[in-house]
């Protein structure tokens, strides 16, 4: 099964097209984590436009300048040998000032690493040199830190589950959940998965070196703390703990010498975890921001531990069981996304007990508006197992009494369907919604 190369990003493409259609000089910054699709977005946008694509690269400065020289030679149709950055910017003005053209500066970090004076030249270029042209200038970087005051900015977020369905058009709904579990909304990670996703993922992590392992090594480089500190904190997060204070209490109880809060700051800087709001503003919460790490510490690490860290001893049945268990977690997140897309959501999140554990009988709650009426969604999600029945609805109704809010809307999501008894019971009941996996995957 072939993976579709570019999916989604319609709003972003429309935004860029609007800027281009004005015919006026403009500068737009595209920001986002590595592998989130900045370069793919730029190439998609530029595919039907005359454009000059200049990129940084992890090579020697001379080699990077030679790369740019070849790019500019191809663009102009004449041989160009750049002497330095000043020469590059002057030639861009000479070649592009009379054209309606897109000029792209990609991989800004690499450009700045090879040419420390790059931003100084770029600042003069964008503030003084393009005002009488029809150039649209796009600059791409992981963050906005180095870009400065550019008024037109796009920050790329991970793609939603429904967008990711288009990456693997031949997959079943359950296979889509698995691929999203591993790759999340990161386009580059989906390119690692081919054929049967279960076998493809197994090969990536349990048969030796692979693209996914190399990516993790690239992201999790040692910083202020030994790599083992990161491993411990991420393993604790994979077990379900999300509040640093509770995690610190746990490591203290286990005699593990790790400063959780400080490690979290470094993991957040690397884009591995992110801070999220909670209904209790006094509590700081973190979740995985990188799907590969969530999968690795939630499934791969415990499977390898059971195998004594020996690849040839990995138990496929153990892998399958842990995969199924963790896919349940991801299915709940997919159902949250579905709810956010279906209703006007004011808040959505999990119900947690005092000890930081999630309520097992309510997977999430959401404050929504339906036809301008405020309602409180109380949801139960189950991907595998027996079809949901009347007893599941009754339990959800009883547990929902602990949730404040009026106009309760009971939402049951099931990958195995619903019993006829339950369907007959809720027929015509506007306070109950039954949603199948096929419904969730329907665009």
304-330 pLDDT, tens per residue?
A: 888 887 888 888 888 899 888 888 888
**CA distances (Å), 136 to each of 69, 133, 390, in order?**
20, 9, 59
Residue tagged 């400063």 (tokens): 259
For residues 338 and 442, the answer to whether their CB atoms sit within 8 Å is: no
CB atoms within 10 A of CB 348: 17
Encode pLDDT of 33-77 as tens digits: 888 999 999 999 999 999 999 999 999 999 999 999 999 999 999
Give ranges for CATH 3.40.50.300 in the chain.
10-155
Encode pLDDT of 108-119 as tens digits: 999 999 999 999
Q: What is the pLDDT of residue 3?
A: 45
Encode pLDDT of 181-226 as tens digits: 999 999 989 988 988 898 899 888 888 788 888 888 888 877 777 7
Encode pLDDT of 224-280 as tens digits: 777 788 888 888 888 878 888 888 888 888 888 888 888 888 888 888 888 887 655
Q: Report how many helices (DSSP H) and strands (DSSP E) the chain contains, helices first.
A: 20, 12
> What is the torsion angle, in degrees rounded to the nearest 10, for the CA atoms of residue 176, residue 177, residue 179 and residue 185?
100
Residue tagged 């830190």 (tokens): 145
- Between CA 274 and CA 285 the distance in angstroms is 8
Encode pLDDT of 294-305 as tens digits: 999 989 988 888
| Mean pLDDT computed over every residue of the chain | 88
Higher pLDDT, 342 or 353: 342
| pTM given for the model | 0.81
Q: What is the pLDDT of residue 71?
A: 96
Give ranges for CATH 1.10.10 in the chain.
162-327
Q: What is the pLDDT of residue 280?
A: 54
Is the torsion defined by CA of 82, 45, 185, 376 positive or negative?
positive
User: Span 10-155: which CATH code?
Assistant: 3.40.50.300
Whether the predicted pLDDT of 2 surpasses 50: no
- Rounded to the nearest 10 degrees, the angle between the axes of helix 197-206 and helix 316-342 is 120
Helices assigned H by DSSP within 239-300: 244-253, 260-269, 291-295
For residues 80 and 69, the answer to whether their CB atoms sit within 8 Å is: yes
Q: What is the pLDDT of residue 381?
A: 95
**CA distances (Å), 117 to each of 103, 111, 139, 352, in order?**
19, 9, 16, 51
Residue tagged 């079809």 (tokens): 387
User: Span 162-327: which CATH code?
Assistant: 1.10.10
Q: What is the pLDDT of residue 1?
A: 41
- Between CA 304 and CA 314 the distance in angstroms is 7
User: Span 343-441: which CATH code?
Assistant: 3.40.1350.10
Give ranges for CATH 3.40.1350.10 in the chain.
343-441
Which of 334, 408, 395, 399 minimizes the C-alpha distance to 366? 408
């Amino acid at each position: 099964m072939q993976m579709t190369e570019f999916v989604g990003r319609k709003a972003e493409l429309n935004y860029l097209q609007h800027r281009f259609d004005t015919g006026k000089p403009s500068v737009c910054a595209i920001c986002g984590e590595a592998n989130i699709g900045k370069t793919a977005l730029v190439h998609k946008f530029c595919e039907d436009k005359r454009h000059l694509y200049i990129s940084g690269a992890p090579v020697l400065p001379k080699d990077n300048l030679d790369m740019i020289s070849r790019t500019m030679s191809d663009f102009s149709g004449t041989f160009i040998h750049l002497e330095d950055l000043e020469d590059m910017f002057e030639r861009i003005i000479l070649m592009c000032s009379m054209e309606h053209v897109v000029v792209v500066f990609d991989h800004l970090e690499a450009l700045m690493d090879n040419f420390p004076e790059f931003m100084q030249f770029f600042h003069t270029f964008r503030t003084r040199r393009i005002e009488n042209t029809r150039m649209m200038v796009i600059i791409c970087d992981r963050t906005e830190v180095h870009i400065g005051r550019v008024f037109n900015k796009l920050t790329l977020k991970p793609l939603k589950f429904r967008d990711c369905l288009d990456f693997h058009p031949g997959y079943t709904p359950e296979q889509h959940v698995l691929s999203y579990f591993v790759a999340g909304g990161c386009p580059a990670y989906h390119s690692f998965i081919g054929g049967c996703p279960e076998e493809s993922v197994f090969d990536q992590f349990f048969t030796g070196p692979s693209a996914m392992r190399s990516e993790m090594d690239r992201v999790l480089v040692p910083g202020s703390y030994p790599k083992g500190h990161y491993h411990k904190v991420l393993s604790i997060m994979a077990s379900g703990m999300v509040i640093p204070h509770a995690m610190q209490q746990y490591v203290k109880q286990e005699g593990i010498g790790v400063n959780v809060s400080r490690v979290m700051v470094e993991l957040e800087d690397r884009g591995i975890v992110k801070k999220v709001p909670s209904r209790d503003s006094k509590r700081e919460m973190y979740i995985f921001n990188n799907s590969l790490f969530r999968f690795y510490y939630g499934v791969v690490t415990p499977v390898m531990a059971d195998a004594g860290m020996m690849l040839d001893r990995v138990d496929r049945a153990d892998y399958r069981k842990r995969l199924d268990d963790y896919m349940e977690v991801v299915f709940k997140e997919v159902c949250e996304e579905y709810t956010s897309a279906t209703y006007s959501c004011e808040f959505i999140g999990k119900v947690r007990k005092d000890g930081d554990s999630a309520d097992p009988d309510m997977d999430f709650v959401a404050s929504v508006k339906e036809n301008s009426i405020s309602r409180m969604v109380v949801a139960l999600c189950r991907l595998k197992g027996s079809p949901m029945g009347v007893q599941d609805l009754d339990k959800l109704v009883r547990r929902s009494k602990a949730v404040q809010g009026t106009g309760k809307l009971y939402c049951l999501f099931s990958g195995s369907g619903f019993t006829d008894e339950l369907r007959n019971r809720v027929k015509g009941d506007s306070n109950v919604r039954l949603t199948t996996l096929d419904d969730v995957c329907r665009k």
